[in-house]
Every structure is written in structure tokens, then in C-alpha cells.
Amino acid sequence: MVPAPPQSQAQIAPITAAQGRPGGVTAIAVWQLGRTVVTLLLFAVALSQPHWRLTGARWALFVVVSNGSIVASVMTPLDILIDAAVGLGLWGRQQWARWTLVIFSFLAVIDCLLMVLVVGVVASRLGTDHAAQLGVVRYLVYALLMVNLMIALYLSFSSSVAEAFRKRPPMPAVTEAVAIRPSGI
């Protein structure tokens, strides 16, 4: 028996999505998937225990991980599914996931700007009793505004991101064919 000729490491190792994926895209994908998991956990606990309320720190955490949602609603499960799909799509360098997140991030920026206006109006009407809570809300909204703006601008205008998504690795090739035999039915 004649041994097979040695193959180079490049021929042996399959191409993975991590090769060529910029670190920023990986970080954003991890952020998306982490937000998804925490939103899912908070929503599941809120549904399973009616007396448990999204107040204080839990509410602040929910606002951040749900990208600015003030309350859990019937749309939260859809948001969870979209966030999970986009995170997995970014991980696999899918163009649809990149542009979906760019659009949603720009929409979140607009939403955050509107929230800043609303918080300012509410703060001027309520007085000093609720100033601390409104201050926390204002800083959370500013943070969300900046995160979404940075994500949208990075995914839209970074040349390394554009090239990485253009040069996505191909699907693995099937190396062995299996014969399909018709049944005698």
C-alpha cells in the first residue's frame, strides 16, 4: 500500500468564519447573543412569577439588554428571536445580519434621541422627587445611544468589515457521496 502524499496545513484545516472576521464584528455578535440570553432570562422570570416586577436595577438591566424597551410586552419574544438570528448571522458573516443590525441600530439611535427629549420634559414637570430615577434613565439612554451609533457606523463604514463580509468562507464541500437506492414500494 502506497502512503498518501502529505498535504499542507492549509489543505487540511477547514476555513472557519473566525478566519477573516474582524474583532469588532466578533464583539458585536457576542454582545447581540449576550443581550438575547439576558433578555430571555428576564422575560421568562417575569412571565413565570407574576409578583416579580421589573423595577429598580432589574428594570435598568432590561432597558439596556432590550435596547431601550421600557416594558416587556408581547413583542419581546419576537425581539429575542431577531436578536438571536442577527447575532448568529454576524458570527457567520452574513450580509443580511450586518445590514439588519445597521438599520435597527440607526432606528435605536432615533428612539434614544426621542427618549432623551421625553425624559427631559418629564423631569421638568415632576420636580426633584424623581430626579435620581430620571437621571439614571437619562444616562442609560445616552449609553444606548452611543453604543448603537458606534455599531451602526462601524458596520456601515469600516472597510475591513465590508471586505470580511464579502469574503465569507464557502460552505464545506461534501467529500463523499452516498448512493440513494430506490425502495421497492
Digit-coded pLDDT (tens) for 14-72: 445 566 899 999 999 999 999 999 889 888 887 887 777 767 777 778 777 887 776 77
Total-model pTM? 0.73
Q: How far apart are CA 78 and CA 5, in angstroms?
A: 52
The backbone torsions φ and ψ at residue 4, rounded to the nearest 5 degrees and listed phi first, read -70, 145
Side-chain-side CA neighbours of residue 114 (13 Å): 9
Q: Which residues contact 96 (CB under 8 A, 6 or more apart)?
A: 89
CB 94 within 8 A of CB 106: no
What is the rounded CA–CA span in Å between residue 41 and residue 124?
A: 35
Map residue 20 onto helix, strand or coil. coil
Q: Kindly report, residue by residue over 67-77, the tens digit of the pLDDT.
A: 777 677 788 89
Residue 92 Cα to chain centre, angstroms: 13
CA–CA gap between residue 77 and residue 75 (Å, rounded): 6
